[in-house]
Amino acid sequence: MIPLRKSFKIHWQIGIVLGFCLVFVIGLSTFSLAEKTTITALIGPDTTGFDHTVVNLFEKENPNIHVELIEGPHSTDAREEMYIRASEAKESPYDLVWCDIIWIPPLAAKGYLLPLDNYLDINQLYAQHFKATVDGSVWKGKVYRVPAMSDAGLIYYRKDLLAKGGFSPPETFDDLISTAQKLQDPARGLWGFVFQGAEYEGLDCFYLEWLWGNGGYYYDPKTRKVGIDSPEGIGATKLLVDLIYKYKITPKDVLAFQEEESRHFFQNGKSVFLRNWPYVWILANKPDVPVAGKIGAKPEVYAPGQKPYATQGGWGFAISKFIESEKIPAAVKFARYHASYKIQKLSVKIAGRDASMRAIYYDPEVLKWNPHFAWLRDVLEHTRWRPATPIWPELSDIMAKYLHKAMIKELTPEEANKEMAKEARRAVKEYWGE
Ligand code: GLC
């Protein structure tokens, strides 16, 4: 009897201990499950792995938050459309959205973004970031986005080929055209100049640089005037068309090029010049890339008597108006973390992004990887805006549609710009009722 009772006692004691452990483990996991917040974020394709790296770092530092990244298509228009569709249904499949600077007026005016004024100090933002990236995060006095990246169009060139031929980097449209004509050899796969020529926002960004550099403008949101049917406007469209058919320095392939296609074309050694954003520098200089170490970058080209213009681009996280309220603190935390100095610096290193914080451009380590950041900061201080208006999505589609019609020779440059102006004026009138 005694041994039996003794073993029973031991089992009973072990049972109590195990019971306690079980209660403890169940309690702990219920507690952490209850505490773990999952937030979703709509981003572009994570081609460099940068976004996933940031999420891993963030989750290590914030074990109670899980960030689910949803990678949308490359084109900014297509992702804006995805976000608009979800917001029209008052749903939040994307608690956070990696938000293009040009989406703020339309999305904020429609009430699809959460104002962040309670969570951000606007003066501190202005003290740390390029002014345009903060201005571009504000709509009617409220902040809707944490700026993390600026952007400005640049001209990339093959330093080696220019040096061999005794050419300086081009200043004017004519310089670029004549240098490209002399250096290219299309029969052997080397073209003169490529850019973003597909029918989307990227084409408009490039075209506006040449339009402004030619003395023209599209739409002035202050006066609500459309000026694209001016001789300068028609002249800029003619230049684009002539690149393909008259000067023959641009292959027809550009009609399907977005940023990535044009980058690959250039970095595979297939063109002398490229118009693209600053991110190309680091990626085209990776050791396994054919043109690594052979490229230069400079501000845009322009007409004689004019000056170079760079379209202001840029990105940062915004938060959906339809997010569940208990998720807001986690979403704000992630948006701010993503825009912190540490992460912006990492974004330069891994993804070649042009950070929105000025101090990054003076960081000795960054200047070692990206020597052109020394002059890029000046370009970023002097960018020009696409019209900041709630109807930009319509105006942008109209512009890209008619540019394409001219570039495939369905319309002459004059016809294309006249139609563009007519439709743009109609869109302005419909929205403002004037
Ligand atoms: C870049 C810019 C963005 C622009 C887009 C067009 O990502 O930062 O502002 O809309 O290119 O393709």
Band of the pLDDT at 3, cuts 50, 70, 90? very low
Band of the pLDDT at 225, cuts 50, 70, 90? very high
Angle between helices 50-61 and 341-351 (to 10 degrees): 150
Residue 408, token pair as written in the block = 């495939």
Residues 426 and 294 in one domain: yes
User: How many domains in the chain?
Assistant: 2
Pocket of ligand 1 contains residue 278 by CB under 6 Å: no
Residue 8 lies in a domain: no
- Domain harbouring 267, CATH code: 3.40.190.10
Burial bucket for residue 187 (CB in 10 Å: 0-12, 13-18, 19+): exposed
pTM: 0.91
Test site for ligand 1: of 43, 100, 137, 154, most ligand atoms within 8 A of the Cβ: 100
Domain with 341 in it = 35-151+312-381
Mean pLDDT score, 198-213: 98
Residue 137 lies in a domain: yes
Residue 120 lies in a domain: yes
Residues 277 and 363 in one domain: no
Pocket of ligand 1 contains residue 201 by CB under 6 Å: yes
Contact (CB, 8 A) for 264 and 257: no
Residues 115 and 234 in one domain: no
Contact (CB, 8 A) for 258 and 200: yes
Taking the CA atoms of the chain, what radius of gyration do you get in angstroms?
Answer: 26
Residues 166 and 138 in one domain: no
Using alpha carbons only, give the angle 151, 275, 416 rounded to the nearest 5 degrees. 100
Residue 6 lies in a domain: no
Residues 144 and 292 in one domain: no
Band of the pLDDT at 434, cuts 50, 70, 90? low
Mean pLDDT score, 110-115: 98
Residues 173 and 130 in one domain: no
For residue 151, the ligand 1 atom closest to its alpha carbon is 8
- The C-alpha atoms of residue 190 and residue 193 are separated, in whole angstroms, by 9
Residue 71 lies in a domain: yes
Residues 134 and 54 in one domain: yes
Residue 386 lies in a domain: no
CA of 45 to the centre of ligand 1 (A): 14
Mean pLDDT score, 409-421: 98
What are 55-91's pLDDT values in tens digits?
Answer: 999 999 999 999 999 999 999 999 999 999 999 999 9
CA of 51 to the centre of ligand 1 (A): 17
Mean pLDDT over the full length of the chain? 93
Q: Residue 272's pLDDT is what?
A: 98
Using alpha carbons only, give the angle 51, 32, 115 rounded to the nearest 5 degrees. 50
For residue 288, is pLDDT > 80?
Answer: yes
Band of the pLDDT at 7, cuts 50, 70, 90? very low
What are 149-182's pLDDT values in tens digits?
Answer: 999 999 999 999 999 999 999 999 999 999 999 9
What are 123-154's pLDDT values in tens digits?
Answer: 999 999 999 999 999 999 999 999 999 999 99
What are 360-388's pLDDT values in tens digits?
Answer: 999 999 999 888 999 999 999 999 999 99
Q: Of 201, 152, 224, whose CA–CA distance to 379 is shortest?
A: 152
CA of 164 to the centre of ligand 1 (A): 33
- The C-alpha atoms of residue 108 and residue 104 are separated, in whole angstroms, by 6
